[in-house]
Amino acid sequence: MTIPSKELIIKGFIEKFRSELSNLIQSAKAAHAAATHEESKAEDRHDTFAIEASYLAAGQAVRVAELEKTLEEFEGYLEHPVSLNQVRLGALITYELDQKLHHAFFSKFGGGSKIEIESVSVQVLTLLSPLGEALEGTQADESIDLELRGSEKTYQIISVD
């Protein structure tokens, strides 16, 4: 099975993040409207609906800002494509773990996000993850040993683009 092009993968993540952002903005607007609506005024000191709605709106606003940064970063990868020979920001990585191939895109934001393109699953890795930190700077044909959840695993880097 061949992996889709790096450009197609980046476009897939951009589409995913745009969709998430659109949905979240709609939810944030609804939460804000609920928090500020005339009928949301507390009827007594035990009525916390407006307070809860305002907390939700604030949390969603933070997530909107995070998604906007992530989207901006991925659009930058698309606008300024680079081919890499070592794992760093913007790298598309294929590695083997437990005799299975895995594909990851190395990014500053968006960690844990996944997409599937042409039956290939790709996950975003960041420096904040133990695996991302361990993989940074490695090259194809290198391997790293990493202890996660009490067991040591060997990650064999197959390719870096």
Same-domain pairing of 13 and 73: yes
Q: Where are the alpha helices (DSSP H) in the chain?
A: 6-36, 49-79, 130-135
Tell me the pLDDT tens digit for each residue of 99-118. 999 999 999 999 999 999 99
Same-domain pairing of 11 and 73: yes
Confidence of residue 25 (pLDDT cuts 50, 70, 90): confident
- CATH code at position 148: 3.10.50.30
Same-domain pairing of 103 and 53: no
Q: Is residue 84 domain-resident?
A: no
For residue 35, what are the domain limits?
Answer: 6-79
Coil, strand or helix at 121: strand
Same-domain pairing of 61 and 109: no
Place of tokens 């020979």: 85
pLDDT at res. 67: 95
Tell me the pLDDT tens digit for each residue of 145-161. 999 889 999 999 999 99
- Residue 33 CA neighbour count, 13 Å, CB half: 6
pLDDT at res. 42: 54
Tell me the pLDDT tens digit for each residue of 113-143. 999 999 999 999 998 999 999 999 999 999 9
Q: How far is CA 139 from the centre of its chain?
A: 22
Domain finish residue from 79, 102, 132: 79
Domain count, the chain: 2
| Residues across the chain | 161
Same-domain pairing of 52 and 116: no
Q: Is residue 1 domain-resident?
A: no
Map 63-94 to HEC letters: HHHHHHHHHHHHHHHHHCCCCCCECCCCCEEE
- Residue 119 CA neighbour count, 13 Å, CB half: 2
What is the pTM for the complete model shown?
0.85
Q: Is residue 28 domain-resident?
A: yes
Place of tokens 């507390």: 42
Tell me the pLDDT tens digit for each residue of 6-23. 999 999 999 999 999 999
Tell me the pLDDT tens digit for each residue of 32-69. 676 666 665 556 565 566 677 677 777 888 899 999 99
Domain finish residue from 33, 55, 79: 79
Q: Is residue 40 domain-resident?
A: yes
Pairing of strands 120-125, 100-106: parallel
In angstroms, the CA 4 to CA 103 distance is 10
